[in-house]
Structure 1
Amino acid sequence: MKTSLSKKKINLDNMLDHIHVFAPATVANMICGFDILGFALEEPGDEVIMRKTSVPGVVITKITGDDGRLPMDADKNTVSACVQFLLQHLELEDRVGVEIELHKHMPIGSGLGSSAASTVAGLFAINKMLGDPLSKEELLPFCVEGERLACGHGHADNVAPSLFGGITLIRGHDPLDLIPLPVPEELVAAVVFPQVDVPTRDARQLIKEKVLLKDAVIQWGNIAGLVAGLFKNDYDLISRSMQDVLIEPTRAILIPQFYEMKQIALENGALSFGISGSGPSVVAITRDKAMAKQIVEQIKAHLAESEIESYGYVSGVNVDGPKVLN
């Protein structure tokens, strides 16, 4: 991994013995902003417990909540691999040893930034144990590398909001140019994860390489309108702008009952409705937690009628990002 980050002198005598960190799930794209917008959720999220060892190296000792799907090999798991990248950058790989427990509290392949939350939790944890030698801005490239390992594409619309909290705009990727956006206080997400399999790689392959100019113009207007609505705290403008004419029509094919779920959300007062990340999770944006809860319950009931099990979450925007739990 190439990085121009400076190496800072670290006193390992002050290294923490252990730490317990939570990092939040995210809603990438925010419906109209493919690969450039995302926000962090209050729940769910992933947890990492990290302990210092006397033997140099990174070892994964336990993973829960993954149904055995994630590798225990430290070179192949995104959490441990990114911790290794960071230690190598700091020239500490032969001096520092840690054991990692990863506790997944969200489904893998949910469209809620599962790999991003795990990676952010791991990198935030090792950085804290070492006394915060790197800022969050300096941690971000390592988080992006975790996404590249997880899905083959080093995008930042999950890891950036998970790391920084709030709503983020990724203006550019080379170099990374991240802009925090205002978070309207009443913004609430109603998230439903139907238990169907939509791998991120497969979902990306469906996206058209070329789009009609008229559709691109509509999408540009929606992205600009959403950003303006966030700055103006204008919920009507936010509602009008969170429409996707480019990605949703294709990805919705992979999500059973998508348009029925959308109708339920809008009929119950949602400002907007769309796909979270690559799906299959869907998100309704509301101004009220009671309304969001009702939308989640009705969508889950509708899916149950089609014998589709689902998880539901009601969450405001997490403005803090990862946090130490102990």
Structure 2
Amino acid sequence: MPPINVLVMIHGMSPEPEPHSPFDSQGKFWGYNEFWANLCQEQPDLPNLFPQSFIGVEWGHELPQPSLPSVEQLREDQRLTRAQNFVNQRIAYDNLVKAPNDNNVTLSLFSGRGADIPLLTPMVRALVVGLRESIVTRGLGDVIYYTSEQGECYVRQTVYHQVLKKLAQYEQEQDVRIHLIGQSLGVTLTHDFLYGLFAPNHEPGFYKQASEEDKERFKTWRQKRQNGQLKLGSLTSTASQLPLFMMRTQKLVDRLAKGELIDAKDIGIDNSNQIQWQLFYDIDDLLGFGTRRLYNAANAIKEYQVDTGDNPGDAHTGYWQNRMVIEQTAQLLYDNASRP
């Protein structure tokens, strides 16, 4: 019997101010459907190898609805959209200068001060303000939320539940390969999900966060991993923030302080000559980092520097439109889903 290949896509932080779906494109953001269509165009056999196409996960932002729900009607993680919009309204520079009073003292955005370089001041300040009020205020806010105990709990409940519910149909299969694609903070979410499934001698923190049904489903898949019935097919990461997230646990800090690499087997990667994990980064992306050299199993991990845009904001959101990302992701999915 051929293996069952299952593809999961998890988006990253969401700097968009309006409710939107991760499945369809909005503005400069490509959704799951467009990315999958381009992968299939690049490798026409993918629909045969992944007959269910993909499991698309939504989290951390409000979805479009015919009428505006109250905050209480939103899932906890979905409230990020309104919370970040409110914060942005209160602290956005344009709004600060429009509300002058004795306790709100401002300067012109383009005024020179001290050691400022006059020729760079207008362009640099405008760019910095734009980034502060999009990628940093909204997007990085998602990252900070996930590093909190409550935020991590709500995000994992949301993300893992969607994946586990779709995986339930394969619980009786004897050979399942899971393939994951993560963007930005989605890279950390895919990594954490795999660590919970594959790390030996580990009591997943998700057991304390999950509903009883999801806890039992997660246990089922951990057991299938131990029985050799679940394998990592492939992992694709764009705009990885893992080097930052490694500082959130003392265990990893201690390991890195000793100059020790992270064990890739903990997320299902074997030290073989078969590429299982590929990563993409752009040096213009302020929130995407090279990651491969922090792990062992170097023969199974490949990393690409790509050019997704010269503006740091565009660079962070443009990976799924990049030609090399599309080509190499489609190739890895095809190779690892079709091999014996």
**Higher helix proportion, which one?**
2
Going by fraction, where is strand more abundant, 1 or 2? 1
Higher relative contact order (CA 8 A, sep 6+): 1
Q: Taking structure 2 as the reference length, what is the TM-score of the superposition?
A: 0.24
Higher Cα Rg: structure 1 or 2?
2
Tell me the TM-score normalised to structure 1 length.
Answer: 0.25
